[in-house]
């Protein structure tokens, strides 16, 4: 079958199956082979690799993945795409299509013995990018890397540094688990239908060990979320207003003082190391 990255082939398939794009699934199909080749190259795929693809759509990138990798698991939520995928991926015997919601899949169970050498590659639906990525990290899916197409502003937030406007809870969470690198910016005309926003490919390379040591990972992330929930407030107010945290104002001020930080400091000024230290001090 001719490659779906040719827009004419995509149009033919969509017409043949009378396919209607579902807004609720955030469907924007890639129609640019150069972009797909950049993604494949950035993900550094070999025949030794197992790929988990989230949202294959009509199989445009899956065709490239199947040629580069040993095995591809493609998880697609829209059952209307199953007959399309049966045709577009029919010639590849190393692809398994799973009709399910990725947020409900037990990924370790799905991958089985292939779990040891997995890389995640996907053109993610923008409305659930963060839950998908955080789910992969927090459930400790043993992926070596995650190379994904996301909304450009989300990519910028993932790699943002302290003190910048894009820096927030997502930056800290991603950087705790992985090293982010923006591979390419992708304009709307590379998709069908065109999204209203710019996109970017970002590669998240998993750390073997997190870059900071912390006694209680959950507490650290609760503190991070609390301090960015109300960005205009001081860190101390954010923590004191969080319903799931029970620290007195004095405890927070004392911990900040011990770290050499003023009590008026805001969350966006703290590095990951400082949040880990704050968590350890308050956790005592």
DSSP 3-state assignment of 74? Answer: strand
Whole domain around residue 35: which residue ranges?
A: 7-206
Q: Examine residue 27 and state whether it is found in any structural domain, yes or no.
A: yes
Longest CA pairwise span in the chain (Å)? 67
Q: Are residues 111 and 170 in the same domain?
A: yes
Nearest to 170 by CA among 144, 204, 196, 142: 204
**CA gyration radius for the chain?**
21
Q: Are residues 120 and 232 in the same domain?
A: no
Q: Are residues 178 and 224 in the same domain?
A: no
Q: Are residues 101 and 122 in the same domain?
A: yes
Nearest to 276 by CA among 209, 207, 214: 214
Instruction: Say what the pLDDT of residue 117 is.
Output: 82
Q: Examine residue 25 and state whether it is found in any structural domain, yes or no.
A: yes
Q: Are residues 270 and 246 in the same domain?
A: yes
**pTM over 0.85, yes/no:** yes
Q: What CATH number does the domain containing 271 carry?
A: 1.10.8.100
Given 183, 206, 229, the domain boundary residue is 206
Q: Are residues 167 and 255 in the same domain?
A: no
Q: Examine residue 212 and state whether it is found in any structural domain, yes or no.
A: no
Instruction: Say what the pLDDT of residue 113 is.
Output: 87
Given 206, 236, 256, the domain boundary residue is 206
* Pairing mode of beta strands 50-54, 118-123: parallel
Mean pLDDT by 10 residues, the chain (284 residues): 93 96 91 97 97 98 98 97 98 98 95 88 94 93 95 97 95 98 97 95 96 96 93 91 95 97 96 98 95
Q: Are residues 71 and 129 in the same domain?
A: yes
Cα 160 to chain centroid distance, Å, stands at 15
Q: Are residues 191 and 233 in the same domain?
A: no
- Residue 144: enclosing H or E segment and its boundaries? strand 143-151
Q: Are residues 74 and 194 in the same domain?
A: yes
Q: Examine residue 1 and state whether it is found in any structural domain, yes or no.
A: no
Alpha carbon distance 210, 216 (integer Å):
13
Contact 46, 102 (CB under 8 A): no
Instruction: Say what the pLDDT of residue 8 is.
Output: 96
Instruction: Say what the pLDDT of residue 18 is.
Output: 96
Number of domains comprising the chain: 2
Q: Are residues 102 and 221 in the same domain?
A: no
Q: Are residues 198 and 257 in the same domain?
A: no
Instruction: Say what the pLDDT of residue 230 is.
Output: 80
Q: Which residues pair with 241 in a beta bridge?
A: none
Q: What CATH number does the domain containing 159 carry?
A: 3.40.50.150
Alpha carbon distance 208, 164 (integer Å):
27
Q: Are residues 42 and 61 in the same domain?
A: yes
Instruction: Say what the pLDDT of residue 171 is.
Output: 97
Q: Could you tell me the two tokens for 180? A: 């982010």
Given 140, 173, 206, the domain boundary residue is 206
């Amino acid at each position: 079958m001719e490659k779906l990255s040719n827009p004419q082939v995509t149009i033919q398939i969509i017409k043949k199956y009378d396919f209607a794009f579902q807004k609720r699934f955030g469907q924007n199909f890639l129609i640019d082979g150069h972009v797909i080749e950049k993604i494949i190259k950035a993900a550094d795929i070999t025949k030794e690799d197992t790929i988990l693809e989230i949202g294959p759509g009509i199989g445009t990138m899956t065709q490239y993945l199947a040629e580069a990798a040993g095995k591809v698991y493609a998880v697609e939520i829209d059952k209307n795409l199953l007959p399309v995928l049966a045709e577009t991926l029919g010639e590849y015997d190393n692809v398994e299509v799973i009709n399910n919601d990725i947020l409900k899949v037990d990924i370790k169970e799905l991958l089985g013995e292939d779990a040891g050498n997995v890389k995640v590659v996907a053109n993610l639906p923008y409305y659930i990018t963060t839950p998908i990525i955080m789910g992969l990290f927090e459930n400790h899916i043993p992926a070596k890397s995650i190379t994904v197409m996301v909304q450009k502003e989300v990519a910028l937030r993932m790699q943002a540094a302290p003190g910048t406007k894009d820096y927030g809870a997502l930056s800290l969470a991603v950087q705790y688990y992985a090293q982010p690198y923006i591979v390419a910016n992708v304009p709307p005309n590379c998709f069908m239908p065109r999204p209203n926003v710019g996109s970017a490919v970002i590669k998240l390379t998993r750390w073997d060990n997190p870059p900071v040591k912390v006694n209680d990972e959950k507490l650290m992330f609760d503190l991070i979320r609390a301090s960015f929930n109300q960005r205009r407030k001081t860190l101390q107010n954010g923590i004191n207003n969080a319903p799931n945290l029970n620290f007195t104002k004095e405890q927070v001020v004392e911990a900040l003082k011990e770290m050499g930080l003023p009590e008026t400091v805001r969350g966006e000024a703290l590095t990951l190391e400082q949040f880990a230290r704050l968590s350890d001090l308050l956790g005592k």
